[in-house]
Amino acid sequence: MDLIFHALADTTRRDILTRVMSTEQSVSALARRYDMSFAAVQKHVAVLERASLVTKQRQGREQIVQGDPGTLRRARRLLDDYEDLWRMRVSAIDDLLAEETPGTAGRDPNTTTH
């Protein structure tokens, strides 16, 4: 998890991810889009790869990069879990209020049912 979120905590890497999620591309094709050295982009891809957000696949002399939706889902699920915690906490307070003053539902504006 540390690896996943760390990989996502960089604008360039998120941009690379955006690109390869919709179209798989070679590392050099990606590098051409950014104002930094090939080696720098190569490192960014390596970080994404270590996090399993991306996979590489050799094709001749090129290395084709493609996104991995499975890892993305795992990350999203974690965020969902945090939101669930919040909802449970609020509903616990709601229950308490409902018990004390029945009829006064007191909905929390931050709580969104999906």
Partner DNA sequence: CTAACGTACAACCAAATGGTTGTAGATACG
Partner DNA sequence: CGTATCTACAACCATTTGGTTGTACGTTAG
Residues lying near DNA in the complex (CB under 7 A): 6, 9-10, 12, 26-29, 31, 36-40, 42-44, 47, 56, 60-64
- Residue from 35, 82, 102, 104 in contact with a copy of itself (CB under 8 A): 82
For residue 85, what are the β-bridge partners? none
Q: Are 75 and 8 in contact (CB under 8 A)?
A: yes
Take residue 95 and report the two structure tokens written for it.
């229950």
Among 35, 39, 60, 70, interactor with a copy of itself by CB under 8 A: 70
Contact 21, 32 (CB under 8 A): no
Secondary element (H or E) of residue 11: helix 11-22
- In the list a copy of itself, DNA, none, the entry touching 80 (Cβ below 5 to 8 angstroms by class) is a copy of itself
CB contact set of 85 (below 8 Å; sequence gap of 6+) = none
Is there binding between residue 91 and a copy of itself (CB under 8 A)? Answer: no
Residues contributing to the site for a copy of itself (CB under 8 A): 1-6, 8-11, 14, 17-18, 21-23, 67, 69-70, 72-73, 75-76, 78-80, 82-83, 85-86, 88-89, 110-112
